[in-house]
Amino acid sequence: MPVINVEDLTDKDKALMEVNQLKVEVKLERWLTSKCCEEIKDYIQAGVEEDTLVKGIAEDKNPFKEKGGCVIC
Amino acid sequence: MAAEKAEMDKLKKECDALRTQIEAARKAVNDGSMSASAGGVAGLGRIQLKLRKNLKGHLAKIYAMHWSADSRQMVSASQDGKLLIWDTFTGNKLVAVPLKSAWVMSVAFAPSGNLVASGGLDNICTVYNIKAASPKTLRELDAHTGYLSCCRFLSDTEILTASGDTTCCLWDLETGKQKTVFTNHIGDCMSLALSPDMNTFISGACDSLAKLWDLREGACKQTFSGHTSDINAIAFFQNGHAIITGSDDCSCKMYDLRSDQEVITYQDPSLNAGVTSVALSNSGRLIFAGYDDFNCHIWDSLKGEKIGVLSGHDNRVSCTGVPNDGMGVCTGSWDSFLKLWN
For residues B330 and B266, membership in a common domain is answered with: yes
Q: Please say if the pLDDT value at position B78 is more than 60.
A: yes
For residues B75 and B152, membership in a common domain is answered with: yes
For residues B167 and B279, membership in a common domain is answered with: yes
For residues B149 and B55, membership in a common domain is answered with: yes
Q: Do B165 and A7 touch (CB under 8 A)?
A: yes
For residues B4 and B58, membership in a common domain is answered with: no
Q: Do A54 and B47 touch (CB under 8 A)?
A: yes
Torsion sign (Cα): B291, B296, B300, B305: negative
Radius of gyration of chain A (CA): 26
Q: Please say if the pLDDT value at position B2 is more than 90.
A: no
Interval B232-255: pLDDT, tens: 999 999 999 999 999 999 999 999
Cβ pair B12, A15 in contact under 8 A: yes
For residues B22 and B58, membership in a common domain is answered with: no
Interval B90-136: pLDDT, tens: 999 999 999 999 999 999 999 999 999 999 999 999 999 999 999 99
User: Which residues 8-27 of chain A have a CB within 8 Å of chain B?
Assistant: 11-12, 14-19, 21-26
For residues B23 and B65, membership in a common domain is answered with: no
- Taking contacts as CB-CB distances below 8 angstroms, the residues of chain B near A4 are 167, 181, 183
Interface test with B, best of A31, A33, A50 (most B CBs within 10 A): A33
Q: Do A63 and B72 touch (CB under 8 A)?
A: yes
SS3 B215: coil
Q: Please say if the pLDDT value at position B13 is more than 50.
A: yes
Q: Do A53 and B47 touch (CB under 8 A)?
A: yes
Q: Is residue B42 included in any domain, yes or no?
A: no
Give the model's pLDDT for residue A11. Answer: 86
For residues B113 and B213, membership in a common domain is answered with: yes
Q: Do B302 and A41 touch (CB under 8 A)?
A: yes
For residues B72 and B157, membership in a common domain is answered with: yes
Interface test with A, best of B285, B288, B297 (most A CBs within 10 A): B285
Q: Is residue B43 included in any domain, yes or no?
A: no
SS3 A15: helix
Give the model's pLDDT for residue A68. Answer: 61
CB contact B3 to A (< 8 Å):
no
A40-45: average pLDDT: 97
Interface predicted TM-score (ipTM): 0.92
Residue percentage of chain B with pLDDT more than 90: 97
Q: Is residue B35 included in any domain, yes or no?
A: no
Structural domain for B3, as ranges:
1-29
Q: Which of B36, B241, B326 sits opposite A53 (nearest CB)?
A: B326
User: B303 CB contacts (<8 Å, ≥6 apart)?
Assistant: B35, B38, B41, B43, B44
User: Between A6 and B74, whose confidence is greater?
Assistant: B74
CB contact A57 to B (< 8 Å):
yes
CB contact A54 to B (< 8 Å):
yes
CB contact A71 to B (< 8 Å):
no
Q: Please say if the pLDDT value at position B266 is more than 80.
A: yes
Interval B310-326: pLDDT, tens: 999 999 999 999 999 99
Mean pLDDT score of chain A = 86
pLDDT tier at A1, thresholds 50, 70, 90:
very low
For residues B10 and B67, membership in a common domain is answered with: no
Q: Is residue B40 included in any domain, yes or no?
A: no
Our count of domains for chain B comes to 2
Q: Which of A6, A33, A48 sits opposite B32 (nearest CB)?
A: A33
Mean pLDDT score of chain B = 96
Give the model's pLDDT for residue A2. Answer: 42
Q: Is residue B37 included in any domain, yes or no?
A: no
A30 → chain B, closest CA residue: B259
Q: Please say if the pLDDT value at position A7 is more than 90.
A: no
A4-22: average pLDDT: 83
Q: 3-state DSSP: chain A helix, strand, coil percent, rounded to 5? A: 55, 0, 45
Q: Do B31 and A33 touch (CB under 8 A)?
A: yes
Lowest mean pLDDT among A63-72, B146-155, B200-209, B295-304: A63-72
Query: What span, in angstroms and rounded, lies between the C-alpha atoms of B14 and B142?
Result: 37
Q: Do A33 and B30 touch (CB under 8 A)?
A: yes
CB atoms within 10 A of CB B289: 25
Q: Please say if the pLDDT value at position B57 is more than 50.
A: yes
For residues B105 and B216, membership in a common domain is answered with: yes
Interface test with A, best of B35, B169, B258 (most A CBs within 10 A): B258
Interface test with B, best of A24, A64, A66, A71 (most B CBs within 10 A): A64
User: Between A73 and B332, whose confidence is greater?
Assistant: B332
Query: What span, in angstroms and rounded, lies between the C-alpha atoms of B123 and B161?
Result: 10
For residues B23 and B57, membership in a common domain is answered with: no
> Which of left, alpha, beta for B240 (phi over 0: left; psi -120 to 50: alpha)?
left
- Taking contacts as CB-CB distances below 8 angstroms, the residues of chain B near A23 are 18
Cβ pair B166, B173 in contact under 8 A: no
Q: Which of A6, A31, A51 sits opposite B166 (nearest CB)?
A: A6
Residue percentage of chain B with pLDDT more than 70: 100
- Taking contacts as CB-CB distances below 8 angstroms, the residues of chain A near B218 are 1
How close B234 gets to chain A, by Cα (Å)? 17
pLDDT tier at A65, thresholds 50, 70, 90:
confident
pLDDT tier at A8, thresholds 50, 70, 90:
confident
Lowest mean pLDDT among A63-67, B222-226, B283-287, B298-302: A63-67
Interval B327-336: pLDDT, tens: 999 999 999 9
Q: Which of A17, A28, A48 sits opposite B222 (nearest CB)?
A: A28
How close A57 gets to chain B, by Cα (Å)? 8
